[in-house]
């Protein structure tokens, strides 16, 4: 387990200010554009741009402080499901990819996170999908305030469509990274090697590259890493079994700095 590291407070404050300014500018655009065809198109585009910015911050905060820390005993099931089951048991760095696995994320993986939480805290075994939990939360915490502030259907439509696309792409890319061969066309995209290396570094160092699809918050808050060290690669290699292992080993040709 990577030991938690303190962030540069000044950098976090400046990054948060920059993000707040971007959110405010896009939201004001959605309010102030004229009620014409061109204005509605502009409001729709502003909504499209706003969703990734908000979701980058939301994902960074949730991933860093909820999935990789035990903030309180009540939420321990979330930490155990993601940090222990996904990062340590299912996909440690030496088995970052499991080519040929069938059936999606292994039992106990991230897709069962909130189901496990409900079972542990309330004794309820409900088929709860993490994706629907995220969508419900974002609808209430982001979509509702946006509608109340703008009262503009085109702006809200752009926000919702962009948010749905981000959630869908997140699941698809994450699954393809850990299970190569499932979606060959995606692996051929020019951006895929960057995201695969970006996420591999996170599995080496859970304090780094906390964002997944859009490392905006990582860049602003100082948690973005673009390379590994020789020590990290050696330590991860030492954890691999001498034979077998059920999949591919380390990231091919990791960049060392």
Domain assignment present for 255: no
Q: Domain limits at 152?
A: 9-238
Domain assignment present for 184: yes
Confidence of residue 94 (pLDDT cuts 50, 70, 90): confident
Q: Which has more confidence, 239 or 148?
A: 148
Domain assignment present for 1: no
Confidence of residue 9 (pLDDT cuts 50, 70, 90): very high
Q: Is the dihedral of CA 104, 52, 145, 43 positive or negative?
A: negative
Q: Residues 22-68: pLDDT tens digits?
A: 999 999 998 899 999 999 999 999 999 999 999 999 999 999 998 99
Domain assignment present for 140: yes
- Give the number of other Cβ atoms within 10 Å of residue 69's Cβ: 14
Cβ partners under 8 Å of residue 44, min gap 6: 154, 155, 157, 158
Domain assignment present for 138: yes
Task: Let me know: does 163 contact 51? Beta carbons within 8 Å.
Answer: yes
pLDDT for the residue 108:
36
Q: Residues 69-93: pLDDT tens digits?
A: 988 888 888 888 888 888 988 889 8
Confidence of residue 16 (pLDDT cuts 50, 70, 90): very high
Share of the chain above pLDDT 90, in %: 47
Domain assignment present for 76: yes
pLDDT for the residue 124:
64
Domain assignment present for 3: no
Q: Residues 175-191: pLDDT tens digits?
A: 999 999 889 999 999 99
Q: Residues 190-201: pLDDT tens digits?
A: 999 999 999 999
Domain assignment present for 48: yes
Poorest-confidence range of 106-110, 178-182, 241-245? 106-110
Q: Residues 202-227: pLDDT tens digits?
A: 999 999 999 999 999 999 999 999 99
The number of domains in the chain is: 1
pLDDT for the residue 243:
45
Share of the chain above pLDDT 70, in %: 79
Mean pLDDT of the chain: 82
Residue 126 has pLDDT above 70, yes or no: no
Q: Which has more confidence, 101 or 235?
A: 235
Task: Let me know: does 3 contact 206? Beta carbons within 8 Å.
Answer: no
Confidence of residue 104 (pLDDT cuts 50, 70, 90): very low
Q: Which has more confidence, 34 or 100?
A: 34
Quick one: tokens of 75?
A: 């939420």
Secondary structure, 3-state, 7-67 = CCHHHHHHHHHHHHHHHHHHHHHHHHCCCCHHHHHHHHHHHHHHHHHHHHHHHHHHHHHHH
Residue 107 has pLDDT above 50, yes or no: no
């Amino acid at each position: 387990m990577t030991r938690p590291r303190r962030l540069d407070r000044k950098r976090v404050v400046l990054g948060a200010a920059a993000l707040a300014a971007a959110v405010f500018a896009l939201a004001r655009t959605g309010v102030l554009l004229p009620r014409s065809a061109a204005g509605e198109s502009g409001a729709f585009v502003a909504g499209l741009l706003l969703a990734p910015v908000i979701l980058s911050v939301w994902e960074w905060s949730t991933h860093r402080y909820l999935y990789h820390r035990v903030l309180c005993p009540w939420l321990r099931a979330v930490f155990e499901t993601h940090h222990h089951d996904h990062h340590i048991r299912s996909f440690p760095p030496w088995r970052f990819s499991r080519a040929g696995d069938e059936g999606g994320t292994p039992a106990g993986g991230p897709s069962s996170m909130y189901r496990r939480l409900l079972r542990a805290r309330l004794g309820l075994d409900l088929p709860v999908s993490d994706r629907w939990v995220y969508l419900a939360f974002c609808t209430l915490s982001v979509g509702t305030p946006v509608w109340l502030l703008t009262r503009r259907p085109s702006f809200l439509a752009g926000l919702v469509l962009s948010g749905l696309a981000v959630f869908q792409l997140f699941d698809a890319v994450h699954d393809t990274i850990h299970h190569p061969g499932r979606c060959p066309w995606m692996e051929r995209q020019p951006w895929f090697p960057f995201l695969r290396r970006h996420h591999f570094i996170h599995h080496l160092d859970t304090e780094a590259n906390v964002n997944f699809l859009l490392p905006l918050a990582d860049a602003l808050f100082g948690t973005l890493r673009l390379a590994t060290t020789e020590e990290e690669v050696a330590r991860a290699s030492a954890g691999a079994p001498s034979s077998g292992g059920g999949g591919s080993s380390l990231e091919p040709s990791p960049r060392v700095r």
